Amino acid sequence: MNQDFIPPAKPIIGTEEREAVDAVLASGQLAQGTEVASFESEFSDVLLDGRPSVAVNSGTSGLHLGLLAAGIGQGDEVIVPSFTFAATANSVALTGATPIFADIEPDYYGLDPKSVEAHITDRTKGIMPVHLYGHPFDVPSISAIAQKHGLQLFEDAAQAHGAAVNGRRVGTFGTFGTFSLYPTKNMTSGEGGMVTTNDPEVERRLRLLRNQGMERQYENELVGFNCRMTNIHAAIGRVQLTKVMGWTKQRQQNAAFLDANLQGVVTPKVAAGYEHVYHQYTIRVTEDRDGFARALREEYNVGSGVYYPVPNHELAPYRVAEHLPQTASAAKEVLSLPVHPSLSTNDLERIVEAVNKVAKAGA
Ligand SMILES: Cc1ncc(COP(=O)(O)O)c(C=O)c1O
């Protein structure tokens, strides 16, 4: 095998990002300032139909501060998926509230509305589903459950920049929505997060919480954190924001090519009226998923990823006896193939050939 490795993800950093960082370094204004303010308003315009956003230093901070700003704390329960990155449940636990794990539906990997309803108690204050892999969760059904039971809806949109339900962008449905800007995400600021809300009081509390409780210097109003984004990170994010929609189109075209050509594996589905932004292109391999991934790597030099092999309710900090059958089977079967915008036609053809041959050999 003498072909180059095809990585499962590849951040794209070009000359413009480097020049933008240089300009900030030359300005001497390194910490949170005008670059961050511009990034916030541009993010709102490009990805959120103008809904206000607040920049923070990571997606995890965004979820944590969003929950605190929405009034979640000790004694409360928030329903989350178990099939997600641990930051979803961690951000709930960090407020002092308890994450309650519900099951997913098997086609799109979003929270299953029936399982959500079955987990509501008199301590439930909110539901925080995840737009996993870049496919929105079932927003109409889960919003209806939230409304019926008087609960808040929070969106973990860490993986779903620009995804939409019937033309409306994710991040605009809940009390708040949070995006991650980690390097492997659809766009990056190096590290970073963006929280969006339409509620002026939640927005104000978010701004206070990220900056030691201060809106004005030394007039601290509450106990806050230092979760500020730097101007350096914002400068990278502003450049990436001008490219993310084009990259998303490329991801969607790459996914369409894989859909049309893969054989012998279960390809991802897209619900009618939903826009999938393919943070991940996730197939299901029903027999020996880990052996399948090993063969792609060792025989064809094609990378892949398993998101996520361990359901969060089985992780050491949580360990609760929940029966979540769809979560269990997804954790055993999912495999994410490269779909990022840097793939060449030749890369895509190699991925198809590798997957189809490994699937055929295992059949
Ligand atoms: C679903 C989900 N939630 C939250 C996060 C946390 O984001 P960050 O890594 O920026 O803290 C991530 C990032 O990996 C994620 O995938």
Q: What is the domain count for the chain? A: 2
pLDDT at 1 over 90: no
Q: Given the DSSP bridges, would you call strands 274-275 and 164-165 parallel, antiparallel or unpaired?
A: antiparallel
- State the residue for tokens 């079932």: 138
DSSP letter at 113 equals H
- The mean of the pLDDT values for the chain is 97
Q: Are residues 342 and 291 in the same domain?
A: yes
214 with 125, same domain: the answer is: yes
User: Ligand 1: which residues within 6 Å by Cβ?
Assistant: 58-60, 84-85, 87-88, 130, 156, 158-159, 180, 182, 193
Does residue 10 form part of some domain?
no
| CA dihedral for 57, 60, 66, 67, sign (positive or negative) | negative
pLDDT at residue 84 greater than cutoff 80:
yes
| Residue 363 pLDDT exceeds 70 | no
CATH number of the CATH domain containing 286: 3.90.1150.10
Which tens digit of pLDDT belongs to each residue from 96-144?
Answer: 999 999 999 999 999 999 999 999 999 999 999 999 999 999 999 999 9
Please tell me the predicted confidence (pLDDT) of residue 160: 98
Closest ligand 1 atom number to CA of residue 181: 10
Tokens of 259: 């859909």
The alpha carbon of 83 and the centre of ligand 1 are apart by a number of angstroms equal to: 13
Of 218, 241, 264, which residue constitutes the final position of a domain?
241
Q: Does residue 7 fall inside a structural domain?
A: no
Residue nearest to atom 12 of ligand 1 (CA): 158
Q: How confident is the model at residue 39 (pLDDT cuts 50, 70, 90)?
A: very high
249: which 2 tokens?
A: 């189109």
Counting from 1 in the atom list of ligand 1, the atom nearest the Cα of 61 is: 11
Q: In what order do the strands lie in the sheet with 98-102?
A: 53-56, 193-196, 176-180, 152-156, 124-127, 77-81, 98-102
| Percent of the chain whose predicted confidence (pLDDT) is above 90 | 98
Q: pTM for the full model? A: 0.98
Listed residues 192, 213, 241: the one ending a domain? 241
Runs of H (alpha helix) within 11-136: 15-27, 34-47, 59-69, 87-94, 113-118
Give the length of the chain. Answer: 363
Average pLDDT estimate for 167-181: 98
Helices 231-241 + 34-47 axis angle, to 10: 30
